[in-house]
């Protein structure tokens, strides 16, 4: 064998090794990571970000929030508005594993708001949950979560009754389990979820009791999404969701069977473009069929979209659009089509001073009753990160609703202190 043959053979072997390495690198590359750009609110700031507390193989992130504010329309009424001031206390803690494989996390949060004059409007919300991921292989992961919430509906909710003596309280208990497969340019995710809603009856002005059992239900969802990465920063997807709503049986206060089955199908794309844009947009069709012939079926266009524009490293503009079928929580209306568009701008005026401005427009188109609501909300705020242990917040929010049933306008001012032990 000549030196020329040896060199030629070595060249072939080197070319094969490089080619094999390139293919292997392409197979290991994650085509679905969208981290080329960082939003203002996502950017790490070690000198101001709270430090986690190490607890064995977990990291804890405790927080205590204190607030004070004012509203000029506590009951969200058209006339005879009532103003009031309030103070709040909102402690929370998150506990997340630091394992190299698998993941487990827990969270607990409490939110209490105490009004100065109208104490009946004071409320306490509680939430706790857990979630985990089991990495069965490099390509397959099992995931699951459970969540419990004890909540109070705000007076501005579309189901709120003007003559209610106090806000509606309800509990929400749910969980989800699923599987995800990801290899190369293919990603498949499927899940099954169950959420149970239980609403408390409310007392009306004058002492009468308004039954709320017609809102109690078990909501089961089966979802799936198939994604294909056309390029490193661009993927297309098709997804579907089947929903079964099983309500409590009709009673003397509600003669309707509100059970329904819904199907939503969408196609779309998620991307991160060189023009400093990142987004996830899906468009499709949704249909809900109701067991009671008194209720007409609902169908139409389904839209879910999120878009971020990274104007500069100091400014991020984001937008959101949605169109979905919801339960309005009204006896005579089985559904409402909620259409909303929103925009938000975050600007880093200084390393530790973030300014925020956002606006949202929402339309509620109710079925089976002559009601249509247009709601506009605008908010401006600021967050001053004094150090990793103390942040200050301030905001002003305007809500204005135009409706053929209930108009109202509310101005709300809020000041907050966050302490990270």
**Rounded Cα–Cα distance for residues 176 and 4 (Å):** 64
**Rounded Cα–Cα distance for residues 263 and 284 (Å):** 11
Structure tokens that stand for 294 in this block: 């008194």
**Rounded Cα–Cα distance for residues 120 and 232 (Å):** 55
Which pLDDT score is estimated for 195? 98
Which pLDDT score is estimated for 15? 37
Domains and CATH numbers, the chain: 31-419 (2.40.160)
Q: What is the model's pTM?
A: 0.88
CA distance between the termini of the chain: 73
Which pLDDT score is estimated for 274? 74
Which pLDDT score is estimated for 136? 96
Q: How far is CA 38 from CA 20, 276, 306, 314, in A?
A: 33, 10, 15, 10
Which pLDDT score is estimated for 26? 42
Say if strands 58-71 and 298-312 run parallel, antiparallel, or are unpaired.
unpaired
- How would you write the pLDDT of the chain (421 residues) with one tens digit per residue? 444 443 434 333 333 333 333 333 344 678 999 888 899 999 888 999 999 999 999 999 999 999 999 999 999 998 889 999 999 999 999 999 999 999 999 999 999 999 999 999 999 999 999 999 999 999 999 999 999 999 999 999 999 988 899 999 999 999 999 999 999 999 999 999 999 999 999 999 888 888 899 999 999 999 999 999 999 999 999 999 999 999 998 776 677 899 999 999 999 999 998 778 999 999 999 999 999 998 999 999 999 999 999 999 999 999 999 999 999 999 889 999 999 999 999 999 999 999 999 999 999 999 999 999 999 999 999 999 999 999 999 999 999 999 998 899 999 999 999 999 8
**Rounded Cα–Cα distance for residues 421 and 374 (Å):** 42
- Tokens 């043959």 belong to 5
Residues 6+ apart with CB under 8 A from 287: 262, 263, 264, 297, 298, 299
Q: Are 75 and 409 in contact (CB under 8 A)?
A: no
Segment holding 87, helix H or strand E: strand 84-97
């Amino acid at each position: 064998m000549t030196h020329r043959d040896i060199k030629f053979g070595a060249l072939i072997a080197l070319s094969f090794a490089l080619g094999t390495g390139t293919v292997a690198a392409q197979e290991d590359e994650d085509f679905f990571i969208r981290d080329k750009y960082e939003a203002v609110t996502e950017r790490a700031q070690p000198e101001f970000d709270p430090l986690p507390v190490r607890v064995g193989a977990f990291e804890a992130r405790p927080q205590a929030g204190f607030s004070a504010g004012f509203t000029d329309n506590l009951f969200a009424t058209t006339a005879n508005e009532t103003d009031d001031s309030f103070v709040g206390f909102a402690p929370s803690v998150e506990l997340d594993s630091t394992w190299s494989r698998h993941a487990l996390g827990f969270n607990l949060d409490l939110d209490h708001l105490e009004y100065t004059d109208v104490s009946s409007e004071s409320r306490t919300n509680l939430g706790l949950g857990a979630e985990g991921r089991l990495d069965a292989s490099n390509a397959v992961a099992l995931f699951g979560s459970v969540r419990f919430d004890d909540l109070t509906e705000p007076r501005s909710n579309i189901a709120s009754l003007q003559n209610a003596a106090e806000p509606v309280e309800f509990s929400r208990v749910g969980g989800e389990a699923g599987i995800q497969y990801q290899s190369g340019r293919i990603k498949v995710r499927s899940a099954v979820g169950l959420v149970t809603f239980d609403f408390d009856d409310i007392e009306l002005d004058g002492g009468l009791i308004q039954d709320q059992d017609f809102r109690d239900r078990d909501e089961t969802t089966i979802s799936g999404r198939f994604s294909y990465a056309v390029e490193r920063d661009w993927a297309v997807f098709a997804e579907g969701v089947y929903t079964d709503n099983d309500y409590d049986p009709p009673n003397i206060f509600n003669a309707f069977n509100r059970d329904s089955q819904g199907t939503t199908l969408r196609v779309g794309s998620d991307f991160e473009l060189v023009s400093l844009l990142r987004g996830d947009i899906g468009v499709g069709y949704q249909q809900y069929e109701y067991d009671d012939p008194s209720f007409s079926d609902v169908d139409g266009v389904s839209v879910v979209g999120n878009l971020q524009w990274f104007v500069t490293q100091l400014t991020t503009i984001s937008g959101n659009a949605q169109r979905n079928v919801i339960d309005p929580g009204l006896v005579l209306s089985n559904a409402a089509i909620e259409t909303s568009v929103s925009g938000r701008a975050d600007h880093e005026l200084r390393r530790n001073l973030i300014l925020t401005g956002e606006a949202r427009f929402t339309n509620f188109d109710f079925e089976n009753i002559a009601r249509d609501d247009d709601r506009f909300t605008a908010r401006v705020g600021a967050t001053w990160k004094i150090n990793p242990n103390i942040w200050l917040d301030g905001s002003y929010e305007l809500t204005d609703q135009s409706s053929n049933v209930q108009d109202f306008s509310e101005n709300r001012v809020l000041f907050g202190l966050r302490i990270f032990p």
